[in-house]
Amino acid sequence: MPMATQDTPNRLLDLAQDLVQERGFNAFSYKDLAGAIGIKTASVHYHFPVKEDLGAALITRYRDRLDAALAEIDRGARSGKSKLRRFIQLYRDTEACGAICACGSLAADRETLPAAMQDGVEDYFSRAEQWIAKTISDGVRAGEFELAGPPTEAATTLLAGLQGGLILSRARPGRQTLEVVQRNFFRTLEPS
């Protein structure tokens, strides 16, 4: 049986994320984590004394990865459309794995989560929506997009479409739901 290493917290977070995306936060235990990586349950508690600590660390890591991905998109893409396509690709990559967004899964469990985790999930979605709205606003100012309503509403529409699309894709394997979401979203931004 493998022994715990310095990398154990990351291995636990990796596994917890997979389980959240597959089953939901409330559908796995520390015993599941320990058994999967070959350590004792007490070792899981050593790194994350209670499940809320694990959940908070998972959300923080997932949010930090979002922030890094958005910064990379901003550095690497010039047009608003290319930035949004790269953002949507993050979700399409998740769709290709048959998974759903970890924070989307946590949002489904919201009422059973501790307040700090609820706040973390809300912060994750707020950051994503703000970035999308800014990208759309910049595209409108540059003449790339036309928009009838506020960019914040368009951002909410895109994020809701992506999150819901992941769930539909999971329920109907083999369909490219997010391709439809992407195509129809960009139609709403096309200059007339």
Q: How crowded is residue 144: how many other Cβ atoms within 10 Å of its Cβ?
A: 16
- Do 7 and 84 form a contact (C-beta atoms < 8 A)? no
pLDDT of residue 49: 97
- Answer yes or no: is pLDDT of 4 > 60: no
Chain position carrying tokens 């109907």: 172
Mean pLDDT of the chain: 94
- Do 12 and 54 form a contact (C-beta atoms < 8 A)? yes
Residues 35 and 190: their CA atoms lie apart, in Å, by 51
pLDDT of residue 82: 97
Lowest mean pLDDT among 25-39, 83-97, 148-162, 167-181: 167-181
Q: Mind listing the domains of the chain with CATH numbers?
A: 59-189 (1.10.357.10)
Residues 17-46 have a mean pLDDT of: 96
Which whole-number Å values give the CA distances from 28 to 19, 55, 119, 128, 167, in the listed order?
Answer: 7, 12, 21, 27, 20
pLDDT of residue 191: 72
Lowest mean pLDDT among 47-56, 122-131, 166-175: 166-175
Per-residue pLDDT tens over the stretch 89-110:
999 999 999 999 999 999 999 9
Residues 15 and 20: their CA atoms lie apart, in Å, by 9
Residues 14-38 have a mean pLDDT of: 96
Half-sphere exposure of 11 (CA within 13 A, CB side): 18
Per-residue pLDDT tens over the stretch 116-143:
999 999 999 999 999 999 999 999 999 9
3-state secondary structure 62-131: HHHHHHHHHHHHHHHCCCHHHHHHHHHHHHHHHHHCCCCCHHHHHHHCHHHCCHHHHHHHHHHHHHHHHH
| Two tokens, residue 128 | 């994503």
Residues 120 and 98: their CA atoms lie apart, in Å, by 24
Residues 103 and 117: their CA atoms lie apart, in Å, by 10
pLDDT of residue 2: 44
